[in-house]
Amino acid sequence: MPNTSEQFYEKCRAIHDLQEVQQLLEWDMQVMMPRKGVDQRGNHQAALATAIHEKVTEPGLGGLIEELAARQDLGIGLAADVREAKRARDRAVKVPARLVAERAQVCALAQVAWEEGKKNNDFAAFRPHLEAVLNIVREMARAIGGDQNPYDALLDEYEPGMTEGALTATFSDLRDRLVPLLDKIKGARRRPSQDLVKRPYSLAAQEAFSRRVMADMGFDTEAGRMDVSAHPFTNGTFRDVRITTRYQETFLNMALFGTMHEAGHALYEQGLDPERYRDPAGQYCSLGIHESQSRFWENMIGRSRPFWRRYFPQLKAAFPGVLDGVAEEEFYGAVNVVEPSLIRVEADEVTYNLHIILRFELESALLAGKLEAADLPAAWNEKMRSFLGIVPPDDREGVLQDVHWSVGLIGYFPTYALGNLYSAQFARAMRRDMPDLDERVAAGKLGDVKAWLNANIHVHGRRYLPQDLCAKVTGEPLSADSALEYLNAKFGEIYGF
């Protein structure tokens, strides 16, 4: 007879395998599925979500967790696995199976409605689906959290240990320190132009160049693939990681930095401990930590001067005639232009977090019933005017630009800004360990960057809670300090103040 820990791992790994199948269905829905298949896919997702929920909540697993949790002789790996399995099960047992199935079906329909609404610039058509999503998410938050702040109950799924109150304090500090920096940039004497990245860039050459960079980063093409979707995302685990990107002929940044961003996510998944990736604590730490990896590659590496010292000559060769007469320093400025913009995924490093704070405040109000879905477009536009000084011309470039709310990801958006804060602290720690980091990047040794991240972030999985991992790697608690120091130094040099 298998012992307690063997039975525990057998059950947990079966759940993980079903969750991977669920991810593949989600990937297929966004990349390959015929549009008329949405109702069927909703049924598939509901059935699979129900089966997973039943396995997570079944009494046998609960008994094994209780038995193991009561023991004092667990090693650090098994103790972490029991902690994470208990955390997931404690949340799941509070949610009726009916609600799990209903959420899967409602979100499958809402996602397709969002895609159509965005394409047609028709928020009114999407609104009933958004209302249905909000209703079911509120019901789930009440089931999980009881009298707890409902936003905290949802946030804990994505960033364990974080609360709405802590976010509000951190984001207020971040916003208060970003505004003076943005004012300095607006009044700076040097003004780099983004025109260089808005020239005609062949789509085929964009794809080839993006794939070259992705390979240099260390993305294993035999353990992953890249496709195109309406909204870039990463899906899958370990040896089957799917990423997507999108292309625009007159905007190089969209594909190049979008691909580096998603490849950063993929490298995290491919860098998990091969012996533990199916175990509860063998998976990624949190979505904030996950986002730190994508933002690290996109910004700390991809928008750095050493990176372009290496890749600018290759870029010029890949697009003959497009960048003739352009100097490397001029192009470096072009990919680092700071200018308030409408689209979050195209935002610069300075203004990006303001997009996230905007979404955090809106979804918090939606969840609490302080803002109705019908009033969301107007509220969105007002916050864009207040935060960034611009107003979207339509809902396609405003409230409909992101997929997240359509699939029920309330509490997810803050992890993007947290990822920026973590990534800045990790960059500082990497420079401490590799003082010659810039020289290595300029020499094309991106594998050294990947190896450091593998050893310090990826392989640990969920052995540590996110803020504990941050402290372990950097020696400091999470704060906005490293991010603001990095932004002030970088953009002070670029803009000349």
Which residues are part of the catalytic machinery? 262
The contacts found for 105-109 with CB under 8 angstroms, 24 or more apart, are 105/42, 105/43, 105/45, 105/46, 106/132, 106/133, 106/136, 106/408, 107/45, 107/133, 107/406, 107/407, 107/408, 108/29, 108/38, 108/41, 108/42, 108/45, 108/46, 109/38, 109/39, 109/42
CA distance 476 to 467: 9
How many residues does this entry show for the chain?
A: 497
321: exposed, middle or buried (C-beta count within 10 Å: 0-12, 13-18, 19+)?
Answer: exposed
Phi then psi dihedrals of residue 365, to 5 deg: -70, -40
Structure tokens at 445: 């040794």
* Chain position carrying tokens 């890949």: 318
Structure tokens at 377: 């477009």
CA distance 119 to 366: 24
Q: Per DSSP, what are the bridge partners of residue 369?
A: none
Q: How are beta strands 240-245 and 224-228 bridged, if at all? A: parallel
| Sign of the CA dihedral running 390, 391, 395, 400 | positive
Helix crossing, 4-31 with 38-57: angle to 10°? 170
